Amino acid sequence: MIINICFHGIGRPARELEPDEDGYWIEPGLFEEVLDRFGDRPEVRFSFDDGNLSDLDHGLAGLLRRGLTATFFPVAGRLDGPGSLGPDDLRVIGRAGMAIGSHGLDHRPWRSLDDQELDRELITARNRLAEVVGRPITQAALPLGRYDRKVLGRLRSLGYRRVFSSDRAPAEKGAWLQPRYSVRDTDTISGLERELFGPRSLKQRARYRAVALYKSQRPGIAVRT
Ligand SMILES: [Zn+2]
């Protein structure tokens, strides 16, 4: 099994936050603790969503100090926006040995979009990021963790090789859809240790399978035509 741990913002944001986003901004101390405590476990993978400037100041710096790697999922439409990574920052992260995936163009939940809007999120964003980092983008992280049959079907048909949700469960090695645990400002290191690495009951395991099955099979939300 793989344990995917996801960060969003670290320290103080330098842009206006979206509703309910502040709970995903954590103190630098908790971030460092997570790397120290879990970074050397072979089943752990780290990722960073949203392309905040703290990916560079705290994220990359903390990883490099410990010889760790991660995948970064910036929002393509925010590159160079206030508080966000610019193209040069992203190239620095890529050259430091980190993987880069796409978190879409405008940070909108992909479930609610019509075909044209969805293609902008999945194709235009991917192309823009690939152009910046000079390599193909083959992974995506679902904005706000939301997905359904239509979204996953489109990601598959566009050749994305791995897609990350936020369903708080261990991931199967090699699975195309990988759940992650997002670290929140209310988390503690001991609470995370219990939740991520403690024994999981049969009921908990069954629950993730049921949730993922339901979400991946549900039809897309009807949108205007
Ligand atoms: Zn996000």
Residues 6+ apart with CB under 8 A from 22: 13, 185
Mean pLDDT of 36-45: 98
Structural domain 3-217, CATH architecture: Alpha-Beta Barrel (3.20)
Residue 142 banded pLDDT, cuts 50, 70, 90:
very high
pLDDT in tens, 178-197: 999 999 999 999 999 999 99
Taking the centre of ligand 1 as the mean of its atom positions, its distance from the CA of residue 202, in whole angstroms, is: 30
pLDDT at 207: 87
For the cut 80, the answer to whether the pLDDT of residue 25 exceeds it is: yes
In angstroms, the CA 202 to CA 168 distance is 15
* Exposure letters 25-53 (e unless 16+ CB within 10 A, then b): bbeeebbbbbbeebbeeeebbbbbbbbbb
pLDDT in tens, 84-129: 999 999 999 999 999 999 999 999 999 989 999 999 999 999 999 9
Q: What average pLDDT does the chain have?
A: 95
Taking the centre of ligand 1 as the mean of its atom positions, its distance from the CA of residue 132, in whole angstroms, is: 20
Which residue would you say has higher pLDDT here, 201 or 217? 217
Lookup: tokens for 159 = 């050749």
Taking the centre of ligand 1 as the mean of its atom positions, its distance from the CA of residue 150, in whole angstroms, is: 19
